[in-house]
Amino acid sequence: MRIVYLSLSGNIRKFINDGGIEATEISYSNPLIEINEDFVLIVPSYDQEITDLMSEFIEYENNEENLVAIVGSGSRNFNDGFCFNAKDLSEKYNKPLIFKFEFSGTEDDIINFKKEVELIEITRTK
């Protein structure tokens, strides 16, 4: 299962690097890359423009077909806005929001994220 992410402030990139997770980073300036395998998308909470940008990415070529789940990163200081971009995308594309973490996550977040991805992989191979 490929992991694909957008990191504006570096928090998600740190989460990926700290977890030793092999992943593909989406460029903010050119998000139109095709992912030709099942993938989980990690998005930051930032502003509505991020939902629009990620929608362009998801709707590019066969990406929507290959999108399996969404993960959000953000600040709990936003209260109901915590991970709102991930929630919006999950609803818009009818894909599960499988995990949320704050900022660049904790060691436990990394472990739990990997477990969620592994569960998806097991479920999809049955």
- At 63, the amino acid letter reads N
Q: How many domains does the chain have?
A: 1
Please indicate, yes or no, whether the overall pTM of this predicted structure exceeds 0.85.
Answer: yes
* Alpha-carbon dihedral angle through residues 43, 126, 21, 76, given to the nearest 10 degrees: 40
Q: What is the mean pLDDT of each run of 10 residues along the chain (126 residues)?
A: 96 98 95 97 93 97 98 90 95 98 97 96 83
Q: Are 41 and 72 in contact (CB under 8 A)?
A: no
The parent domain of residue 92 ranges over: 2-125
Q: What is the CATH number of the domain that holds 112?
A: 3.40.50.360
